[in-house]
Structure 1
Amino acid sequence: MTDVLTREQRKYNMSRIQSKNTGPEVKLRKFLFARGIRGYRIHYDLPGKPDIVFTKKKIVVFIDGCFWHKCPVCFQEPETRKEFWMKKIQSNVDRAIKINDQLQSEGWTVIRIWEHEIRKEPEKSVKKIISLL
């Protein structure tokens, strides 16, 4: 199946994809705030640009998009330009592993939460974070 959008339209659509303050990220922060957890930073300057950082406890939280990070539960391969997208997505997965190793070697605890986990069971994600605090 060919792409229904022109090259310029696709480029515009892709440029609109946010990397900060995404829906799942904001939702998780609201749940943390509601539970009284406020001692965190967002988009702290660390390798991988974690979404939430608890500097005193040295805990970083990444919220991974199911498509961009190849979620084992709900990832669907793209229909078009499969080779290009799979290479890009695999590089995201490889980079995440490298970032995890780097942060852990520096003494950080790394938590990775899938986008669908926040969408379906946000309280479970919050409890995962609270258990480490």
Structure 2
Amino acid sequence: MSDDKSWASSAGVRKSMQANTGRDTKPELALRRAAHARGLRFFVNRRPIRAVRRTADMVFPRVQVAVFLDGCFWHGCPQHHTVAKTNAEFWARKVADNRRRDENTNATLTSAGWTVVRIWEHEDPEDAAGRVAQIVAELRSVERPR
């Protein structure tokens, strides 16, 4: 596809967007390392509920915990989200759609008995892993019906 027919506003933007990955980002890897160092074992990049097209970054199926690591730009972090200068309407709509999908995901999983943990990419991985570990430990100590 040539750049003149691309959805991107410039060749540089196109190259930058193509470099974005859907998994194994630096924040995800840091969180997973920190969680693993705490003795946590989990599935990576998995659907908590097979029939629902939502993929969590970390899944603890026995205690039904789904962890999502959200990017500040993509999910509209109240602290760090910046407004795009180019194609502002497109990006505002994209982020609003992502936020609506996140809310829907939270509601869907919660109504199915899952605990949803949302972590922003700017959070310290050690602190975030500690929060996840605490939630998992609390749920493991409580007998949950399957």
* TM-score bucket of the superposed structures, by smaller chain: 0.7 to 0.9
Match of 2:62 among 56, 62, 68: 56
For residues 32-74 of structure 1, give each alpha carbon's deviation from its aligned partner in whole angstroms, at most 9, with x where no partner exists. 1111212x10111244200000010000000000000000111
Q: Give the secondary structure class of the aligned counterpart of 2:118.
A: strand
- 2:19 is matched by which residue type in structure 1? R
Aligned residues: 125
Q: CA deviation at 1:6?
A: 6.2
TM-score, normalised to structure 1's length? 0.87
The answer to whether the 8 Å contact 1:48/1:96 transfers is: no
Q: Kindly report the root-mean-square deviation, in angstroms, between the aligned alpha carbons of the 2 structures.
A: 1.5
Write the deviation string for residues 66-95 of structure 1: whole angstroms up to 9, x where unpaired: 000000111111111111110011100110
Taking the aligned partners of 2:101 and 2:135, their CA distance within structure 1 comes to 24
Spell out the pairing of 1:67-78 with structure 2 (5 A cutoff): 67-78=73-84
Q: Could you list the structure 1 runs, at least 4 aligned residues long, displaced by more than 4 angstroms after superposition.
A: none
Q: After TM superposition, list the pairs within 5 Å mapping 1:83-98 onto structure 2.
A: 83-98=89-104
- Mapped contact 1:31–1:122 kept (Cα < 8 A): yes
- Report what 2:143 is aligned to: none
Q: Which residue, out of 7, 10, 13, partners 1:7?
A: 10
Q: TM-score, normalised by structure 2?
A: 0.80
Distance, in Å, in 1 between the alignment partners of 2:45 and 2:20 is 17
Larger Rg over CA atoms: 2
- Alignment partner of 2:19 out of 7, 11, 16: 16
Q: What amino acid maps onto 1:115 in structure 2?
A: E
Q: What residue is the counterpart of 1:128 in the other structure?
A: 131
Q: Which amino acid aligns with 1:67?
A: F
| CA deviation vs aligned residue, 1:87-122 (integer Å, no higher than 9, x gap) | 0111001100001100111111000000000xxx22
